[in-house]
Chains A and B, each alone.
Chain A
Amino acid sequence: MAARCAPDSWAEAGGVAAQALAIQERAGQLAQTDAEVWEVALAALERTRSADPQGDHELEQKLNRAAAAPLEIAQLGADTAELAALTSERCEPQYRADAAAAAALAAGGARAATHLVEVNLTVREGDVRLERARASDRAAWEWAERVLETIR
């Protein structure tokens, strides 16, 4: 929003706005995917509890899919926070607080998504997916802190 509000005030504003729209679209699709694969995984978990002979393999596959969407959401959170940081550096001062809010929200989203990866039953400590999610979470919060510092 901050980039779109003043598209001519800094050279990269249009490009930043285009990236923000692409991320927004991707996030919407991922949230939908996340909900769907989680429903499927939950149903598979129920079947396993009732000793369905299809067994653990199917459940594991579905839980693996359920971990993929939040992992991508965490990465999108880091991207969004970074974009917000760039916006905050270049935009007109009156939009800086909006950029900071966007960075903080993105970091919150990355944290929540990382938690979903952490609690997935197929993910153990040392799992590369967990490491990537946590790295995204850290990056998102570093960007957000940097932006928030500029408005304190």
Chain B
Amino acid sequence: MTALSTLSDAQLVQRCRGGDPDAWNELVERFSRYVYAIATRGFRLGEADAEDVFQEVFTRVYTNLHKLRDDAAVRPWIAQLTRRLCLDTIAKKGREQPEAEAAPEEVDQGLAELDEAFAVREALAALPEACQEILGRFFTRDQSYRTISEELDLPSGTIASRIARCLGRLRVEIEGRSEGSGGSRE
């Protein structure tokens, strides 16, 4: 049996439509951080409001999944649902542009950055362990070549070129994904 985490978005949606409860769990697991990040970082909602949006998004996904025309476009569909619900929440609370509320262009930029970050994260997860390890150490944990060399027991002088090769693989992975997800939306 295929591990659900290795399925593409489209395959996962098909399994959900087929009524597989594990697939639903995987779908929520896969997109939960994304939805929460849009609510809290994109729209700066508080924890309680973000939680409400989160619940409502997945309720709507559950009830309306059959309306999604392109299974591969589930991510942008969920993003759109989340945005709408965040705006509804803000409108309902009748906020009068408090200082914490971002301007629309800031929100758009924040959401674009979130999309990019999640795309990179997913592509990174598809790389071999060794690449994930070295890229994570250099770019996420800000480790020096020397530290990476010592801790991974790699000869000094190969770190920079290995990172460069792994970045090349990451680029190919990201480009492959963006080519494969150019379908229409609901």
Seen from chain A, the residues whose Cβ lies within 8 Å of a Cβ on chain B are 11-16, 18-19, 22, 26, 72, 75-76, 78-79, 82-83, 86, 135-136, 139
Chain B residues whose CB sits within 8 angstroms of the CB of A22 once the complex forms:
138-139
Chain B residue nearest to A29 in the complex (CB): B142
Q: Which 5 A-B pairs have the closest CB atoms?
A: A15-B164, A15-B167, A12-B164, A75-B144, A79-B145
Which residues of chain B from 150 to 173 have any CB-CB distance to chain A below 8 Å in the complex?
156-157, 159-161, 163-168, 171
B144–A79 touching, CB < 8 Å:
yes
Q: Which residues of A contact B167 (CB under 8 A)?
A: 14-15, 18-19
B166 touches A15 (CB 8 A): yes
| B residues lining the A interface (CB < 8 Å) | 138-139, 142, 144-147, 156-157, 159-161, 163-168, 171
Q: How far is the CB of A64 from chain B (nearest CB, A)?
A: 19
- A89 and chain B: residue at smallest CB distance: B161
Identify 21 residue pairs between A and B in the complex whose beta-carbon atoms are under 8 Å apart, listed by A's number: A11-B165, A11-B168, A12-B165, A14-B168, A15-B163, A15-B167, A16-B160, A16-B164, A18-B164, A18-B167, A19-B167, A22-B139, A72-B144, A76-B144, A78-B144, A79-B144, A79-B145, A79-B146, A82-B159, A136-B144, A139-B146
Since A19-B138, A19-B163 are in contact, a sample of 17 more A-B pairs with Cβ atoms closer than 8 Å, ordered by chain A residue number, is A12-B168, A14-B164, A14-B167, A15-B163, A15-B167, A15-B168, A16-B160, A18-B167, A76-B144, A78-B146, A79-B144, A79-B145, A82-B156, A83-B160, A135-B146, A136-B146, A139-B146
Docked pose: A139 CA to B147 CA in angstroms: 13
Tell me how far the C-beta of A16 lies from the nearest C-beta in chain B, rounded to whole angstroms.
5
- Max chain B Cβ within 10 angstroms of own Cβ: one of A13, A18, A135: A18
